[in-house]
Chains A and B, each alone.
Chain A
């Protein structure tokens, strides 16, 4: 390999080294030495580019290796799906769904009355509910988590209630919301709020409890002010835990919104899915499923990306 590489390099060495090798006779020795050096240098350069090419090739290979299995999996999935349509004829095949999706997404933002809006509007409506419910939960849950983590008494006080309420299925809260707010939309937001608050409280509190004693000792030996302790030590130390809580919360919220919307109606991807079931447009149901999955995936990836930016050591 190395041998061919060097020979290759010499053969493809640009002409300058050889042009210099046309010397006047008296300077032959010197120039030969020079030429040898130049050739060596050129070969070296060539070897370097060869190495770069090899590295690039290896990187490409590893990229292919990481993508190919996924593609194979999707292919098998599509084949199985296609096969299934022969058994269960009411289920449309991938091609049909794809055509339908292209049509649907070519005009995502139309409005033909309150119950007939483009899929884009439906997705945005759901995201808005999630955003509001989640945002309010963060506003309450993160400070609450800090307090619970900081004060042991508060921790002991709240932990039985949290342990009791946390496992409750989010939709169980819907009637309370409907009763209190007397409207579907705030009730759905309420459900999102209540289901996404627990991971944020719990993870933030855990983060505060797990701050290494070393960092707190730094604060103590310097006698830092409460504000400095919070901004320079507490908050940055807890941030990764907090973001884990946020990620979990958003995941749960997105799971729940679809279910909540099925019950409350209005505009939203969950309601849309239910509506298409009532209309028996099965392609659209399948499209809704993939869309929900895709949006959930994007939300999670965005948060992983944010969390990475705040990862130290």
Chain B
């Protein structure tokens, strides 16, 4: 535990065996994330952001290299990492409550009784502002609300790291902005360590302490890492007039659209 970093990705490669032979998705990935830090992974579509996140989640195994989370080598998925998927992945036959409860039960049922588990579930749903829709099924609520339940489920298990893969990608702009603000508040409240995949520059700058910019695939790697030193709590209206904000934004845009220009 002497390592000051909460999450370490060390010289990681990921290759896929495909019909056309071996495909190098990402290579030489080195990443250090401190406790309580918010990291965004940004890059063009298909560069390997999800691949990297899946490696951290343990859903996939790295071809080379080591990943360490909270002092332990990552060898598979585990409840020390909470994952929010792009398409919410709620189980449609369970209510919002039961979807979150499933996770809470898995992690805390060995040490806590039912009322405590239910209280944890309710607290998680309250945190994302969904107390009123707790007993609804996913098909009865909006896309934004589903994504909130996904966040509640991921955070309810008190993970060491929260992983989000383009969580707001499928939402309309207004809902997305709203959820970004919510996420800012929740992360500040819970002091979570977060790694989030996005392809939205504003989202990355608004939320992150660190923006990890990936080069284009195949064989993608980390191109640049930008430290975002905007004061918190952050407010999107104030930031709109902040010169630093525009400076950071410009740096990312330049990376994406000039250095890593993508032939559409």
The distance from the CB of A240 to the nearest CB of chain B, in whole angstroms, is: 10
B94 touches A223 (CB 8 A): no
The distance from the CB of A287 to the nearest CB of chain B, in whole angstroms, is: 43
A220 touches B89 (CB 8 A): no
Interface of A is mostly: helix
Asked if B210 lies at the interface with its beta carbon under 8 angstroms from chain A, I say no
- With A217-B85, A312-B137, A312-B139 already in contact, the answer to whether A224 and B91 are too (CB < 8 A) is no
A214 touches B87 (CB 8 A): yes
Residue on B nearest A225 in the bound complex, by CB? B106
Alpha-carbon distance A110/B110, docked complex (angstroms): 62
A-facing mask of B74-99, CB < 8 A → 1, else 0?
00111101110101010111100000
With a cutoff of 8 Å between Cβ atoms, the chain A residues found around residue B107 in the complex are 222
- With A215-B91, A228-B106, A236-B91 already in contact, the answer to whether A222 and B85 are too (CB < 8 A) is no
With a cutoff of 8 Å between Cβ atoms, the chain A residues found around residue B94 in the complex are 232
B106 touches A215 (CB 8 A): no
B-facing mask of A216-237, CB < 8 A → 1, else 0?
0110111110001000110011
Asked if A107 lies at the interface with its beta carbon under 8 angstroms from chain B, I say no
The distance from the CB of B202 to the nearest CB of chain A, in whole angstroms, is: 27
A313 touches B89 (CB 8 A): no
Number of chain A interface residues as a range? 10 to 19
Alpha-carbon distance A215/B150, docked complex (angstroms): 12
Q: Which of A290-313 contact B (CB under 8 A)?
A: 310, 312-313
Alpha-carbon distance A310/B92, docked complex (angstroms): 10
Residues of B within 8 Å of A, CB-based: how many? 25
A222 touches B79 (CB 8 A): yes
B77 touches A220 (CB 8 A): yes
Residue on A nearest B99 in the bound complex, by CB? A218
Residue on B nearest A236 in the bound complex, by CB? B93
With a cutoff of 8 Å between Cβ atoms, the chain A residues found around residue B207 in the complex are none
Asked if B125 lies at the interface with its beta carbon under 8 angstroms from chain A, I say no
B139 touches A313 (CB 8 A): yes
Partner of B106 from the list A224, A237, A310 (CB cut-off 8 Å) is: A224
With a cutoff of 8 Å between Cβ atoms, the chain A residues found around residue B57 in the complex are 221
A313 touches B85 (CB 8 A): no
With a cutoff of 8 Å between Cβ atoms, the chain B residues found around residue A221 in the complex are 57-59, 77-79, 81-83
Residue on A nearest B78 in the bound complex, by CB? A223
Q: Which of A224-258 contact B (CB under 8 A)?
A: 224, 228, 232-233, 236-237
With a cutoff of 8 Å between Cβ atoms, the chain B residues found around residue A233 in the complex are 91
- With A224-B102, A228-B102 already in contact, the answer to whether A217 and B89 are too (CB < 8 A) is yes
A-facing mask of B140-158, CB < 8 A → 1, else 0?
0000000000000000010
- With A214-B85, A221-B77 already in contact, the answer to whether A312 and B92 are too (CB < 8 A) is yes
B59 touches A214 (CB 8 A): no
- With A223-B79, A236-B93, A313-B92 already in contact, the answer to whether A217 and B102 are too (CB < 8 A) is no
With a cutoff of 8 Å between Cβ atoms, the chain A residues found around residue B91 in the complex are 215, 218, 232-233, 236
Asked if B138 lies at the interface with its beta carbon under 8 angstroms from chain A, I say yes
With a cutoff of 8 Å between Cβ atoms, the chain B residues found around residue A218 in the complex are 89, 91
With a cutoff of 8 Å between Cβ atoms, the chain B residues found around residue A310 in the complex are 93
Asked if B252 lies at the interface with its beta carbon under 8 angstroms from chain A, I say no
B85 touches A223 (CB 8 A): no
The distance from the CB of B187 to the nearest CB of chain A, in whole angstroms, is: 19
CB-based closest 9 A-B pairs: A312-B92, A214-B89, A313-B139, A236-B93, A221-B77, A221-B83, A220-B77, A222-B106, A313-B92
- Other than the known A221-B58, A312-B93, A312-B138, what 7 A-B pairs have Cβ atoms closer than 8 Å? A214-B87, A215-B91, A217-B83, A221-B83, A222-B106, A223-B78, A232-B102
